[in-house]
Every structure is written in structure tokens, then in C-alpha cells.
Amino acid sequence: MSYEQEEEDHYGPGYEVGSYTKDYNDGPYDGESDLNVNSNPEGKPRILLMGLRRSGKSSIQKVVFHKMSPNETLFLESTNKIVKDEISNSSFVQFQIWDFPGQVDFFDSNFDCEMIFGGCGALVFVIDAQDDYIDALMKLNLTVTRAYKVNPNIRFEVFIHKVDGLSDDHKIEAQRDIHQRANDELMEEGFDSVNLSFYLTSIYDHSSYKKNLLQTFITDSNEALDLKLVREPSDVQNDETTFKPEMSHQIFGENESIFGYQNLKISLYYTAGKLNTYLGMSYKAEVDPKQFDGAIADDVMGAISAKLPPGYMTNLDDFVATLNKEQTFKPFGDLLSTYSINKGSAKERHFQLYSCTIEETGFRSYHERLQTFLLWYVDAASFIDVDDDRWRFYLIFEKYPCDGGHRYAICGYATVYLYFAYPNKTRPRISQFLVLPPFQRLGLGAELLNVIYRSFLKDSNILDITVEDPSDEFTRLRDFVDAQNCKKLPSFSKEKLHQGFTAEMVDEAQRDLKINKKQARRVYEILRFQATNLSDLEEYRAYRLDVKRRLNIPYQKEASDYKKLQKALNAEELRSTLSTSTKEQRIENLEKQYQTLENEYRHTLERLAASQ
């Protein structure tokens, strides 16, 4: 792994260091030194700098923080006592470094491990890569295990130092070897939960140290963003009403990170009914371009606001004031179904499902706010062209008591496009489908999908219903709902399932449930698996062969194409044109595909059993 990769993997966002130490030097500790816990009255964060003698610890400090020329470090004397160094480069970069002598003996009765390591935030251990590092690894192991026992929250950073004199291959090998040995020794002693971060370093190129410091200004955008559906003012400060995005790369890039801030928090709040929107952010510190070669912070507000429709608020008080208008909000469109959970208990909740078109008064602007949730939960999400009148919208609302009456909170929604199917039919395609995190695992997804199905069942002009690029989660939901519905059809009875997949199943599933042929076959396999006695080896084998015959169809086509090409091409042309699988490869691939399917089917059947 490269130095840069190690940084990205191990030097995470919001990194702070801190410790409380007691002086220790080459001789006995006398308790009289000014290097004691009271020498840090402001409680500045501290870093412990450790390693063997002449490993380069002091040189790193002088070059990075005191702008000493690397050549001048040749004249530095070896450290023989703890040296305190105050770092105050700016108003937000203020901490202390404690440089320990290489001959520190942790077993000396004068060495107070509790005082040294207790509360410490980071320990940097320096290893001379140009020397035999066996002794250094032993000292590293002793240091880490002692420190971790006292304070398991310490971050351990290992600088593989003086790599300027090594070839690139030697650098990589040294890093790999040190990484492997250090972690193996910790695991052997039962410290496998300790995380060590490794860096290749040199005082002749200390840009790496600035890079390390810059890492503290990198934040995981998924962790930084707080989403809320606010029903009452107290929800704003209530952490229990906060939910997180599943993804943020569609706003903040592939790495899902934000640069330029420490302790960054982004607030994206919606009123639960009207979806009036608030966007705000806070942070402890922002990167100073003067300190870091012109590096500037990402425009967080600009990146998010570009996806929000006009009218969002940046003043939290103004946002809270709009909650008074929630009592006038009513769902859009026609009520199709009601759904309740925990009936008869104090936790009883009621939901309503509606359908509407874009022509519904006020819905166009409402949908503009609603669809922004897709960016955080649906991969490759795109906003639809609502001016096309073939779109249909389905919405879920919770109807909840408030101030002696009722209000409504959005729970999720789906969009369906009515495609033309030759010669004179319509084929609805489910395009977007989302149940928001606070309302997941309540059965609302299955209810919403069934409502969509039922809205088309009586329409003889509807051929069947399809899905656009379904996610794995939606595929599992669809399998569950379709299997639950098909179980009620005569053609999917246990007796007929054992006879194989038939045209009767295709026709009945399409006619009565608007399920297409491909999905009907999948449901057949799920329900036949349920009907199969797995302890009956012949019955189980018959089921596996039935599924594998379907999975083998692409390989049969491949063999047919190969025979055709054999007649038209010579052996060399054939080899360069078509790559075919061997019989062994085909059997192996079929088995892998089958096992994947069986696992998926088992999950569906477990949910079916739990729902009964």
C-alpha cells in the first residue's frame, strides 16, 4: 500500500490529540521538574513522540515545526530527557509534543504509565528504515501494549523514517515488512484490536507532514450530514429524530468526503408534512490557505444548495417558525389505502397511501422538495421530467395526533412511468421507490408495492408491471410481495410446483397480478424451493437441476454460437474471436450462481414465514 493510501485509510476526519503526562528523564524522576501535568494549564492536546535513539524524532520536530534546515539536524544532540515543545502555528493549530528519550524503560518504577498515557490522544513511534529495525519493533510492541492497557483510545502512528536514502522497491518492502511484523506480534499477544497506521517519511521532503495535518480537515460526508423530518420545535435538538444518508457521492464525489473543516456538521432539515427546508452547517475550524499552500475548503453549502429548489432557509429560527403552517397541510391526490401497525396498543400508528399526477394543485413544487431525498438513498439517482404526463406518483403519509387534531408526515414515495407496449397495451415501469429511514422495517415498502399493483390490476389495458434497474433491496422486497401474492394462485399450488414451470403459471401471474414472465419464473423457483423436502435427496436434486437448466441457457447459446463460427473461421481466427468456457468452468460457475440464488430464496422464505 502506498504512503498516500495509508494516509487515506488511517488518518481519519476530525482527528484530535490530547494527553496528560508526567516528566520522565534519563535519571530517576524527582517530581520537581517543570514538565508536569500543571505545565499545561490551557489543556492543550498533546502528542507523545517515541522511538529508539537516533531514529530521527527530534529532527522531525525541528524541520516540520521550526523550519530548521534538514542539514542542520545533523548537529542535534541525542535526546536524554523529555522535551516539551509548544506548537502554536495559528489559532486552531495549538498542541504540545513530548519528545521522549530512546532509552525510556517502561518497567522502571519511576515511570508512571497511568500519568504518561492516560488521556493521551496520539503516540507517534519513529523507526529508522535505514537501520536494522528488529530492536525498534520490539520497543514498538512494548510501547503500544503498555499504552493501550492504560488508554485504549490512543491513536498509534508509526513513522518509517529516513526513507530518502532507499530505492522505491526498498521503501515498499520495508513498509510491508514492518507492517506485517508489528501487527503479527500484537495479534500473538492478544492485541488484535489495536490499530497501527504506517507512514513513509523523510525530513528532506516534509510535505508529507503537512499532508498529515491536512488529514484532520477531511470529514466523512455521510457522518457529517444530519437529516431530520421535523414535526415540532423540540425535534431540532433531539438526536433521536436525526437520520443519516446511505450515500453522498452524488454530491461530494466518489470518496464521499469533505475537505477544509474540523468537527463539521451539516444540517438538512425538512418539516414533516410540507417539506419546508433548512440548510445549515457548523464547524470548529476551517483550513487556512496561508498555512497550507493555498488549500481552500470545499463549498459545502453550494454543493447541496445546487440540488435544492429555491425557497430553502438558512436561518433556523425562520425554519422553526414555519412549523405553525403544518396544521394546514393535507396529502395530495386520491386516498388508495390505509395501513396500521401495533393495533390496540399505545404504540398504534396509522398510515395512508395516495396516488396523484403532476397536475395536482401544489404537487409540482412539493415533488421538487421530495425528490431531493433520492440523492442520499438511491444510487445513480436522477430527477425526472415531470412535464411528461405519463408519470404517476404514489405517496405514503403517517397520520399522527397533534394538538387535539391530526397532521401528516411524509414517509416515502414511488414513481411509475406508463410505457407503451405493442400493439395497444400499456406497461407501467416502477422507476423510483423510497421509504425514508425513520419508517423502514414497518412493512410500508410491501404495502406501497401492493398498492401500486392494485391500482393497475383491474385495467385490461395493462400488460404487466416492470421495474427499472432494481436495487438488491428492492429485488428482495419484490420477491417477497410477488411470492406472497402468487401463493394464492391455483397454478402455484404445491402439487403443480413439483410439475415444473408452466405456461399456466405465466398466464395466471400476468392476468391476475400483472407479473411478467421473467419474474413469474423467479417466484416459481422461490415457492418450489419452499415446497421441496430438502431431506429427500432426490427431490432436492430435482429442484437444483431445474434451476440450473435455466441458468445454463446462456452457456447453451455460447456453444451454439461457437459451432456456427467453426464453420466460418479457421482455428486461429476462432481463438481470437470467441472465448469459450471449459466444461469444468461452466459447472463451477453454475454451482456458484445456484448457491447465490438459493441464499436469496432462503431469505425471502424466512420473511414469508415471519409474516404469517
Kindly list the catalytic residues: 468
Looking only at the bridges linking them, the beta strands covering 94-99 and 122-128 are unpaired
Give me the DSSP letters along 352-389.
EEEEE-TTSTTHHHHHHHHGGGHHHHSTT-----TTST
Could you tell me how far CA 585 lies from the centroid of its own chain? 34
Residues facing 391 on adjacent strands: 417
Q: Give the integer Cα–Cα distance in Å for 606 and 612.
A: 10
3-state secondary structure of 406: strand
Beta carbons within 10 angstroms of residue 536's beta carbon = 11
Q: What is the DSSP letter of 77?
A: P
3-state secondary structure of 88: strand
∠519-418-474 over CA atoms, to 5°? 40
Q: Give the integer Cα–Cα distance in Å for 503 and 491.
A: 10
Number of helices (H) and strands (E) in the chain: give both, helices first.
Answer: 21, 20
Contact 90, 216 (CB under 8 A): no
Q: Give the integer Cα–Cα distance in Å for 36 and 333.
A: 71
Indicate the residue type of 351: F
Could you tell me how far CA 357 lies from the centroid of its own chain? 34
Q: Which residues contact 133 (CB under 8 A, 6 or more apart)?
A: 127, 174, 178
Q: Give the integer Cα–Cα distance in Å for 565 and 468.
A: 35
Q: Give the integer Cα–Cα distance in Å for 530 and 527.
A: 5
C-alpha cell at 466: 416492470
Ranges of beta strands (E only) in 277-325 are 277-282, 285-286
3-state secondary structure of 417: strand
Q: How many C-alpha atoms does 450 have within 13 Å on its Cβ side?
A: 15
Residues facing 427 on adjacent strands: 419
∠253-475-592 over CA atoms, to 5°? 95
Q: What are the two backbone dihedrals, phi and then psi, of residue 153, each rounded to the nearest 5 degrees?
A: -90, 0
Residues facing 405 on adjacent strands: 402
3-state secondary structure of 79: coil
Q: Give the integer Cα–Cα distance in Å for 281 and 269.
A: 11
Burial of 502 (0-12, 13-18, 19+ CB in 10 A): middle
Residues facing 49 on adjacent strands: 99, 124
With residue 518 as reference, give the H or E element that holds it: helix 517-531
